[in-house]
Amino acid sequence: MAIEKGSMREVISSVYQRLIKDEELLRLLKYKPRSTTYKDPLDVSLPDIIGSTEYWNIVNERILLTNKVDDLEGNSLCRLYISSGRRRADSGNYLFAEQEIIIDTFVHEIYQSDLRSEWILDRLNELLALERVNGAIGKLDFVKSDPASAPLQYQRYVHRYMYSTWKKWWVMVEFDEIKLLRGKPVEIQYGIKVYPLTLDEISEIGSKIYNSRIGTFFVDKSLLNEANDIPIETLEEIHKLNDLEFIYYLALSGDINLIYSLSDALRMVLKCDVVVEQNADIKIFKGEEIVTLDNDLFLSIKKIITKQNFLKDDEKTEFRPANAKARALLEKLNKAKENLQTQNKKDGLSLNDIISIVATHSNDINIITVWNLTVYQLYICYLRLLMWDDYHNKYQLIPHSSDIDALDLKHWAVDINKIK
């Protein structure tokens, strides 16, 4: 299975790969100190370890991801162990956590004549300290080295490095609304992006299918409060569920299609493979990386979709379950507006009406080019047209009005967020 981006496994794997691909470190772990018998471990006349037939034997014996010490006594080795250490919240930023990486070095006394323990630490710091590794935010920071108990004839040091990571690796990057205006996708951490569909793409999918898929993100359990046929104990248990758990609850109550509708919606807005596994977990495939959908990731995607589709945060769903039991649970939800297209109406106009209005009355947009706009761009254009029209109509009334203040004249060039 692929390693998830930003995970602790990715960081440790990245450190491991860096160490096993460094010829100098491998020489320090393998070759004995310079003497009348042995050459300096970095002497160019010694055979390279990387590329040799013994490479993997040396790596598997000298650089480990498991703490195996029972074979050290009776052998004269230099060995590294890579493992994770303490993880704690970053007091300076609620989004971040601080994670330790521990590298244990075991050096047999026959290597110590050239201060091999110190030499290895120097090399580790050259490779890792203040360097970037995959999965970490920023750079690794060297914290400290401490001597520790070791098998007979061995010297052991515990080296600690620290890096920053997300408490949740996929925490959404704060985005500027200029991305929405430009029609660009909004990135969630590590390459996952939420794409705004153009009107042309929506027309190809079909507006009903598009609205239905988007609607799966807006299933709202609060409307069940008005249901008279649901026991209060059941309602209390339902309200303990988070948003994604509630969708699973509805699906398991009789209509598993809701999970597949959600996976279709994710596939549509993320533009990557999304699979529902046998246990109903939803897996998102981004290149070679695999991410499991959980509630926080679900909410981050929902937040972006809300903005991209010019919706309110309290939009409801049009999802129609095929099963009677699930339908009963969703009865109150379905009393919301008929679908997201209806919810998007302004002044009783449909999406088709607004498309034709913008295409007809905009200077540089026509019925051919309007399909290149996203939903957000369309409604921004439409609102600006309304504001322009309202301003100029009222402006013309000024000479004929005895109470100008009653006109509530507002210039069309104002913050669009104040009138959405």
| Contacts with 335 (C-beta within 8 Å, 6 or more apart), sequence order | 223
Tell whether 227 and 244 lie within a shared domain: yes
CA distance 200 to 204: 6
Amino acid at 129: A
Burial class from Cβ neighbours inside 10 Å (0-12, 13-18, 19+) for residue 237 reads exposed
pLDDT value at residue 333: 38
Predicted local distance difference test score (pLDDT) of residue 4: 63
Asked whether the predicted pLDDT for residue 350 surpasses 60, the reply is yes
247 and 158 share a domain?
no
Q: Count other Cβ atoms within 10 Å, centred on residue 70.
A: 7
Handedness of CA 252, 253, 258, 260 (dihedral sign): positive
Question: In angstroms, how far is the first alpha carbon of the chain from the final one?
Answer: 45
CA 391 to chain CA centroid, Å, is 43
Asked if residues 79 and 105 have their Cβ atoms less than 8 Å apart, the reply is yes
For residue 319, the model assigns a pLDDT of: 45
Which of 110-114, 287-291, 361-365 has the lowest average pLDDT? 287-291
| Boundary-marking domain end, from 115, 140, 166 | 166
| Region 71-79 average pLDDT | 91
In the numeric block, which tokens belong to residue 70? 């029972």
Q: Using one digit for the tens of pLDDT, what is the confidence trace for 287-307?
A: 777 788 888 788 889 989 998
**113 & 129 share domain:** yes
Is 200 found in the same domain as 136?
no
Checking if the pLDDT of 228 tops 70, the result is no
Model confidence pLDDT, tens digit, residues 3-32 = 666 678 888 999 999 999 999 999 999 999
- Nearby residues of 126 by Cβ (< 8 Å), 6 or more positions away: none
Q: In what order do the strands lie in the sheet with 137-148?
A: 63-64, 78-89, 96-108, 154-166, 137-148
162 within a domain of the structure (yes/no): yes
pLDDT for res 28: 97
Asked if residue 339 lies in contact with residue 215, where contact means CB atoms within 8 angstroms, the answer is yes
Query: Is 394 or 258 the better-scoring residue by pLDDT?
Result: 258
Tell me: do 314 and 376 sit in the same domain: no
- DSSP class of residue 3 equals P
User: Does residue 106 sit in the same domain as residue 215?
Assistant: no
Please indicate, yes or no, whether residues 317 and 183 belong to a single structural domain of this protein. yes
Q: What angle do CA 376, 382, 388 make, to 5 degrees?
A: 135
Q: 212 or 312: whose pLDDT is higher?
A: 212
Distance separating alpha carbons of residues 100 and 220, to the nearest angstrom: 40
| Angle, CA 48 vertex, CA 43 and CA 53 arms, to 5° | 150
Given a cut of 90, whether residue 107 has pLDDT beyond it is: yes
Give the domain CATH number at 46: 3.30.2000.10
Q: Are 121 and 159 in contact (CB under 8 A)?
A: yes
| Domain assignment of residue 171, yes or no | no
pLDDT above 70 covers a percentage of the chain that reads 74
pLDDT of res. 334: 41
Average pLDDT over residues 338-359: 64
Domain shared by 205 and 297, yes or no: yes
Give the angle 341-344-346 at the CA atoms, nearest 5°: 125
Model confidence at 91, pLDDT cuts 50, 70, 90, reads: low
Dist CA 133 CA 101 (whole Å): 12
DSSP type of residue 250: H
| Domain of 358, in residue numbers | 351-418
Q: Which of the four pLDDT bands, split at 50, 70 and 90, describes residue 418?
A: very low
Residue 417 binned pLDDT confidence (cut-offs 50, 70, 90): low
**Among 298, 291, 288, 297, residue whose Cα is nearest residue 277:** 291
Examine residue 172 and state whether it is found in any structural domain, yes or no.
no
Residue 70 — pLDDT band, cuts 50, 70, 90? confident
Torsion of CA 268, 272, 273, 276, to 10 degrees: -50
Burial class (CB in 10 A: 0-12, 13-18, 19+), 197: buried
Q: Is 277 in the same domain as 261? A: yes
Stronger pLDDT, 277 or 326, i.e. the higher one: 277
HSE-CB at 139 with a 13 A cutoff on CA atoms is 10
Structure tokens at 122: 């120097």
Single out the residue in 136, 166, 196 at which a domain terminates: 166
Q: End of a domain among 288, 311, 343? A: 343
50 shares a domain with 106: yes
In a domain, 173, yes or no: no
